[in-house]
Amino acid sequence: MYLPRHFAMGDLDEVAAFVDSVASADLVTVDEDGRPISTLVPVLWDRGSADPEAGRYGRLIAHVARANEQWAGAADGQRVLAIVHGPQAYVSPSWYAAKAEHGRVVPTWNYSAVHLSGTVELVDEPASVLDIVTALTARHEGARPDPWSVDDAPAAYVAGQLRAIVGVVVHVDAVEAKAKLSQNRSAADRAGVVDGLRAAGDPDGVRVADAMDRQPQ
């Protein structure tokens, strides 16, 4: 990831909160022919075994369809990349206060993203795959007033569904996090971008504006 210092996200807890809020990632692997393959998967970042000083950041758990050729082209221990995307939006130079001052402005793109990389472990043992599915389900159902549980479905049905997927565990050893939110512009330019994004009304743009508002000045 190209990561200028002024766009770097803060501490690891902030990065983890971002990943948890998105809860999905593009899982990127390379097959034996050197062909990159990517699949969007639900993810959960378990930092229970993290030791950043030793280059360990816990594990990212996910699963893919057994019919997906990606898992068959990967191998245990292969290096992989998971890309977590936040909101993104086009930034018009017409929103900058600097446009009226000197006109030396150009368009850009604001966004947030986290790259988690490490070695992959493919999980095919039914009980372990069930653990992954249960953890992912609990993440999304836990806050609901009447949460659904894997145990709510018939056991034979669940067993059949588990045979159709393969668990994926990424043992994370590198974390790169970027929030490109006009930190390199003046306060007046940033305010103009926030106003412009809100006025445009695109939901992703509004989310970028919200993220800009949360940035320390």
| Per-residue pLDDT tens digits of the chain, which is 217 residues long | 999 999 999 799 999 999 999 999 999 999 988 899 999 999 999 999 889 988 899 999 999 999 999 998 888 999 999 999 999 999 999 999 998 889 899 999 999 999 999 999 999 999 999 999 999 999 999 999 999 999 999 999 999 999 999 999 999 999 999 999 999 999 999 999 999 999 999 999 999 999 999 987 6
Every domain of the chain and the residues it spans: 5-92+105-188
Strands 36-42 vs 79-91: parallel, antiparallel or unpaired: unpaired
* Separation CA 77–CA 115 (nearest Å): 18
Q: How many residues does the chain have?
A: 217
Angle at 166 (CA atoms; ends 143, 162), nearest 5 degrees:
65
User: What fold, for 5-92+105-188?
Assistant: Pnp Oxidase; Chain A (2.30.110)
Q: Please give the torsion angle defined by the CA atoms of residues 97, 182, 87 and 31, in that order, rounded to the nearest 10 degrees.
A: 140
What are φ and ψ of residue 174, in 5° steps? -150, 135
* Global pTM value: 0.93
Sheet strand arrangement including 36-42: 36-42, 24-30, 79-91, 108-123, 165-180, 59-65, 44-46
